[in-house]
Structure 1
Amino acid sequence: MSNQMRLDSIDHAILHHLEQDGRLSNQELAHLVGLTPAPCLRRVRRLEEQGVIAGYHARLNPEAIGRHFCVYMLVEITMTSRKIVEEFEAAVAAFDEVSEVRRVYGAIDYIIRVDVEDGNAYERFQAEKMYPLVGVHRIVSHPTMKAVK
């Protein structure tokens, strides 16, 4: 979104309902936000074109696909060049086990969410995929107990 777009209360309502259920039909969405279908569709298309709505996807249940074990990795890399950073980010983003990667400010460089079957699978992931990456300096792992929200 290069130019900041002004969003009104109806735009916010559209975004709220689509975040809750991206499969809503235009008819259902229009009803929920108090519009008729044609203006609702125009607003959704505008929000898509302006980059406010970046896309639609299915949110998978990690447990249902055998990935019961969620770990947040705090990763520090040796950022000696832009090339190392770009290679690291591309490699990590390509791993199936990784569901989120965020570069952050502070003492660490990345927070990475990893969803795997169990502790043994995580150990293999860390040893076989993460540590061999160029630039990895340190990894601190935080296995989670439960999802609250």
Structure 2
Amino acid sequence: MKPLDRIDRKILMALLEDSRISNSQLAERVGLSPSPCWQRVRRLESEGYITGYTAILDQSLLGAGETVIIEVTLDRHDDETLENFGRVLADLPEVLEVYLTTGAYDYLLKVAVSGTAGYEEFLRKKLYKVPGIRQSRSSFTLKCLKRAHSVPPTALG
């Protein structure tokens, strides 16, 4: 894998800012002609630096304006329990992110809900139906101060 150079970093930054930018606009922004720019983007994709492109939706407009952070502790930590927990959570549309963690709890979940009623419904009808949960602790977020979907390449050197 080829190390990132200054142009690669500029390409990645531009795509972080606007993944819908045209190749010709991207090439102009980073100081390349379109063909070499396109080749670099394809290389960055094939080497795994770029793992996908997505639209970021407004969850409030979609009816799930509140974000809840849930800490979950499991009863057991055998492979079957961990795999089942991960598989079930991956299928729940309200669950935005799931992290296996160290420390006092096993998992940290980021969940989008429609107020306290939506949260109660999520807990009772979905989360608490998942086998193996010993306990959970939740916090409603009040305000998002920063949201990033990737670390910018300039932050890494």
TM-score by length of 2: 0.88
RMSD, aligned α-carbons: 1.2
Matched position secondary structure for 1:64: coil
What residue in structure 2 maps to residue 23 of structure 1? 20
Query: Residue type matched to 1:27 in 2?
Result: S
| Cα shift readout 1:88-121 (whole Å, capped 9, x = no counterpart) | 0011111111111111122211111111111111
Does 2:117 correspond to 1:127?
no
What residue in structure 1 maps to residue 5 of structure 2? 8
What's the offset of the Cα at 1:68?
1.0
What residue in structure 1 maps to residue 95 of structure 2? 98
What residue in structure 1 maps to residue 48 of structure 2? 51
Q: Which runs of 5+ in 1 are unaligned?
A: none
Does 2:33 correspond to 1:36?
yes
| Cα shift readout 1:17-76 (whole Å, capped 9, x = no counterpart) | 111111111111111111111111111000111111111111111111111111011111
Count of residues in Structure 1 that have an aligned counterpart in Structure 2: 146
Which of 135, 145, 148 is matched with 1:148 structurally?
145
Query: Residue type matched to 2:27 in 1?
Result: A
TM-score by length of 1: 0.93
Which of 84, 89, 106 is matched with 2:86 structurally?
89
Runs of 4+ in 1 over 6 A off after TM superposition: none
The range that moved more, 117-126 or 74-83, is 74-83
Matched position secondary structure for 1:131: helix
Query: Residue type matched to 1:111 in 2?
Result: L
